[in-house]
Amino acid sequence: MDTTLQDPLVGQLLDGRYRVDARIAVGGMATVYRAVDTRLDRVLALKVMHPALATDATFVERFIREAKSVARLAHPNVVAVFDQGAQGQYVYLAMEYVAGCTLRDVLRDRGALQPRAALDILEPVLAALGAAHRAGFVHRDMKPENVLIGDDGRVKVADFGLVRAVGSVTSTTGSVLGTVSYLAPEQIEHGTADTRTDVYACGVVLYEMLTGAKPHTGDTPAQVIYQHLNEDVPAPSALVPDLPVALDGLVASATARNPEVRPFDAVALLAEAREARSELTESQLDALPPQARAEEHDATEDRTSVIPRLLPADQGVAHHTSRLETPPQEPAGPGPRASRLRMPRRSVMAAVVAVLLVLGIGTGVWYINSGQFTRVPSLLGQTEKDARQRLSDAGLDVKGVDRSYSDTVTRGTVISSDPDSGARIRRNDGVRLVVSRGPEIVRVPDVGGLSLADARHELEKAGLVPGMVTKDFDEETPRGDVIGTDPEAGTERHPDSAVALVVSRGAPVDVPGVTGLSVADATAALDEAGLKLKVLPDRINSPEVAGDIAHQSPAEGARAGEGDTITLTVSKGPRMVDVPDVTGKDVDAATAELEDAGFEVEVKRPFLSFSDTIASQSVGGGKQAPEGSTITIRTKGL
């Protein structure tokens, strides 16, 4: 019997509102779930801090800061944060759910991108960061994992968990939080982070999109750090021949080691990106890159980590136990790049040893690859949830999930994996799963007469997706139950196709007219018709007597379903209006003036009188009368 522990949050209702349906991803500080907001009936993503960190005030403060910061941005290319809260050991953010993949998934599957595709992704990323920069925030952890690409093609920036106000952090006491492959030199050397550090990271991401590889690599994070400090990011055309010079210049500008010569913020880099695009021909934009797939890389370099900052040469490290010695940094600036320094093998080893010593005794935790290996656990035939748990228990990540049709493997269970079960794999690496979608063709089940919840369950069990819900009158089907589906039951469809549901409103009811009735009489009339009522708290002026019904919605004669609610508004009596003085005026002018003031007009003429001049009016000029009441005017007699 499988005793694998399941995620305790899946299937639970968090904070009395969010139903957790599935786990999407696991990071170093939080787990992301797909959930449903039961109050607003919408799908969203829940980012839940690991319970072990929820007692750390620093991490909780960072979580709350992320919610407040992103809520202030309200930008179409930023993943929105809807809510923040806590329940027991769970501290969470409720965020926009983006169905799609990350830029890392795209680079892993496709390798280098065409220049047009790379710019199409870069520009909305810069637009999002530009909004953050102009609002006074720095992201500090830009990387392909934090760029989401929706199924509809929209690009959004996620994970503002390391966001800081511009200028709020100028130095640190020995560590910096970030991802080693995308850290700017000044972050590593001085602990500074401003808008230009995000610009540097975007330049590295652009290089990766154009080449399918990272500009700086090494067997250890220490070697990558050394290259950030001492080597320029190479021109993308060095790895992908025939790339236009404009793209080389764009990467060089963004990744200048001297922050003073980089674009000031993402808005400035966006302008340069658009200028570079304008210099390219259509054939250059659509040129296919030569390599078929991205180079393999150590996934540990893509994790957000606490990284010891290199201290100045006159400060000891670990009580002078070791010191990271680096050659003087070559100046960076516009124009041709200076020749790159090459680190002697002995210096490389010394740097690695020094950084590893700092890792052992410095502040924070830096998770690096220990070089140990493990075996991929048995996954075939397991449900996707159980397979994920087995991989998690083995210390392995899920790189992604592909879905494939199968006539023999049950829907939702694992067909195969890459690497295969039993394969030797580096610890903390990832495994890609192939999960069965079931048979290629399924039949729409007959769900007529079921409750909406049961009908949705039957569709999901058949491998279909419950789609849009509409309501219609039906005298035979009880209110709230399903009348039928579109397409109809028995229709053949591919798995995961959407099926619309039609739900009964019950037998149709003609809405009675209750305007002018008292609230008690209106209630009785609606009850007799099988309808409910809601009386609005605010009253309005109307011709109806104060306390009677002034307005109803839907109106008299409309069709409603049995049990529907009719909204009623109560009258506070007619509005009193000033009566104009029309004596001495002719009939037409007097009538028009009184009607414009909101009154009905009755004209009376004495016997055998042919005068049109008004001699008197029933309510004198300057007095008040109920709006809509009748004013009688009399003409002069003989």
Residue 227 sits at the vertex; the CA angle it makes with 224 and 233, to the nearest 5 degrees, is 110
C-alpha R_g of the chain: 35
Angstrom distance (rounded) from CA 283 to CA 291: 18
Angstrom distance (rounded) from CA 610 to CA 470: 66
Q: Using DSSP, how many helices (H) and how many strands (E) does the chain show?
A: 14, 33
| Residues, the chain | 638
Supply φ then ψ for residue 371, to 5 degrees. Answer: 90, -5
- Show Cβ contacts of residue 370 under 8 Å, excluding neighbours closer than 6 positions: 427
Supply φ then ψ for residue 407, to 5 degrees. Answer: -85, -10
- Show Cβ contacts of residue 42 under 8 Å, excluding neighbours closer than 6 positions: 36
Judge contact between 227 and 183, C-beta under 8 A. no
Q: Which two tokens stand for residue 507?
A: 């037998």
Angstrom distance (rounded) from CA 479 to CA 457: 19
Q: Which two tokens stand for residue 388?
A: 């994920």
DSSP 561-628: ETTPEEEEEEB--PPEEEPP--TTSBHHHHHHHHHHTT-EEEEE--TT----BEEEESS-TT-EEETT
Judge contact between 442 and 464, C-beta under 8 A. yes
Taking every pair of Cα atoms in the chain, the longest distance, rounded to a whole number of angstroms, is 127
| 393 flagged as catalytic | no
Q: State how beta strands 532-535 and 565-570 pair.
A: parallel
Q: CA 499 → CA 412, 419, 439, 489, 491, distances in Å?
A: 19, 36, 17, 10, 10
Beta bridge partners of 513: none
Closest CA to 90 of 58, 63, 67: 63
Angstrom distance (rounded) from CA 62 to CA 78: 18
Q: Which of 15, 141, 496, 564 is catalytic?
A: 141
Query: Which residue do the tokens 């839907």 mark?
Result: 554
**Beta strand segments in 98-227, E:** 100-102, 137-138, 147-150, 155-157, 164-165, 175-178
Q: CA 356 → CA 307, 369, 461, distances in Å?
A: 11, 12, 52
Query: Which residue do the tokens 């008690």 mark?
Result: 520
> What residues act catalytically?
141
